[in-house]
Structure 1
């Protein structure tokens, strides 16, 4: 029985713990958090175990490092003595942007097996986009078992380590950008007379359907846009206004800014 331990039960840690619980029993999941009450609340929800960082470091076969990059050094320094004394094999699973596998090994104080995953918040409901890169000493069997266990988080895609932060800048940061767009669409609907609740529902369902259409139709997104823009119609006028406001350029700049910040976090 492999134990999946989570150090940090914030948005990403809790999302991945929920995904793990879809495949594992509560006894196979161990949670820890700087604020114990937060881990205890999630443990009650998932009917799993709760402990300290040291408990996770001592017992878990997969040790999820779900703290912010700026807090990683302090947290790993705290569990490094426990890791150094372990006789059984374990794998460090980092959820942190910017920190390379070699840097994580340095902070943990040993040449331990490491994998990096960068999920997004929709993983909490099984609709996530999760990027991963495996260290060279992760076996094919370990990688397969891990991906099978965590498949409840959503779609997984391998990326080489030098691209994983770029992927996360699109899909990891993207939910914030998408939520801003949804909010703006709903505001526009309210300005046109819709109720707030209706406008939000209409906008969210539209985005969900459009995303599903993009994934299943294999059409270029430009073609999906063109299919809605009738000659002399209302949609093309809306597109014109977005273009005049620099919509696409602003979105591209947001992704690049997020990617550059991830690079800074690793320094």
Structure 2
């Protein structure tokens, strides 16, 4: 019988963010981690109070939900590695759920790498790093998992932020819109803060003002349900300073650059699993 509710294979930036969220949502003693660099897993475990094991097989054997937090090119080997353990446990009547966060790797491809005759319940998720502080957006592809197991997973990870269940056919595009966008937002915020510094605002204050403004704007979109264009229009007074700034952004091609950034990332997602 499994000892841990959820186990993490891989504690990189995204894996660590989800570990932190899991340890806020359930007893950290029900969370176990491993990493190819043991010291990294041990440091994270010390921080959040979870458990550490040394091998991927141990995580697979001892956990109900097995989080596969490795790069797409590494995932096939990890799946082949844990397949015998997963089969043995399932033959004994234990319930296992594989959860992959690898961009571009389809569930059908994962089943092929597992090479098991019995189909293991599987979830594919597209999270983002703000999950570490409860502000994440996690896309869940639930086609290969019973609804009650999907519900259980989302309950375990509830402290990570929002969830949305979508078809796997949208995985690459939607994953770019949620998983990649934080990096785009940081770049945008850095540029805005640089502009404030150029205008004479101290660096730290500029970062605080910009970050709070972006946070507030994003929250207003979510809570009001209004289109961002309408909210933008409400700030742009006739002949005012904001519309001048908007004009400068349009002149620099901001809107087109954003479209191309998400479209480009979505296209790259498709290639990562091949």
TM-score range, shorter chain: over 0.9
1:57 positional shift = 1.2
Report the 3-state secondary structure (helix = DSSP H, G, I; strand = E; otherwise coil) of the residue aligned with 2:243.
helix
Contact 2:172-2:267 within 8 A present in 1 as well: no
Moved more, 122-131 or 230-239: 230-239
2:143, 2:45 → 1: CA distance? 30
Specify which of 123, 145, 150 is matched with residue 131 of structure 2: 123
The 5-angstrom pairing of residues 36-115 of structure 1 reads 36-51=38-53, 52-86=55-89, 87=92, 88-110=94-116, 111-115=119-123
1:145, 1:254 → 2: CA distance? 34
Which residue of the partner structure matches residue 225 of structure 1?
Answer: 232
Contact 2:69-2:102 within 8 A present in 1 as well: yes
Which residue of the partner structure matches residue 214 of structure 1?
Answer: 221
Contact 1:120-1:128 within 8 A present in 2 as well: yes
Which residue of the partner structure matches residue 28 of structure 1?
Answer: 30
Q: TM-score, normalised by structure 2?
A: 0.94
Contact 1:113-1:135 within 8 A present in 2 as well: no
Contact 2:142-2:166 within 8 A present in 1 as well: no
Report the 3-state secondary structure (helix = DSSP H, G, I; strand = E; otherwise coil) of the residue aligned with 2:164.
strand
Gaps of 5+ in 1: none
Moved more, 194-203 or 25-34: 25-34
1:2 positional shift = 5.4
Specify which of 185, 188, 194 is matched with residue 181 of structure 1: 188
2:156, 2:173 → 1: CA distance? 25
Moved more, 98-107 or 69-78: 69-78
2:153, 2:95 → 1: CA distance? 14
1:79 positional shift = 2.0
Contact 1:101-1:135 within 8 A present in 2 as well: no
Aligned length: 266
Report the 3-state secondary structure (helix = DSSP H, G, I; strand = E; otherwise coil) of the residue aligned with 2:104.
coil
1:82 positional shift = 2.1
Report the 3-state secondary structure (helix = DSSP H, G, I; strand = E; otherwise coil) of the residue aligned with 2:73.
helix
Are 1:263 and 2:270 matched, yes or no?
yes
1:108 positional shift = 2.0
Contact 2:79-2:114 within 8 A present in 1 as well: yes
Gaps of 5+ in 2: none
1:227 positional shift = 0.9
1:76, 1:144 → 2: CA distance? 24
Contact 1:24-1:149 within 8 A present in 2 as well: yes
Report the 3-state secondary structure (helix = DSSP H, G, I; strand = E; otherwise coil) of the residue aligned with 2:140.
strand
1:75 positional shift = 2.0
Deviations 1:234-260 (A, max 9, x none): 111111111111110010000000000
Contact 2:4-2:62 within 8 A present in 1 as well: no
1:15 positional shift = 1.1
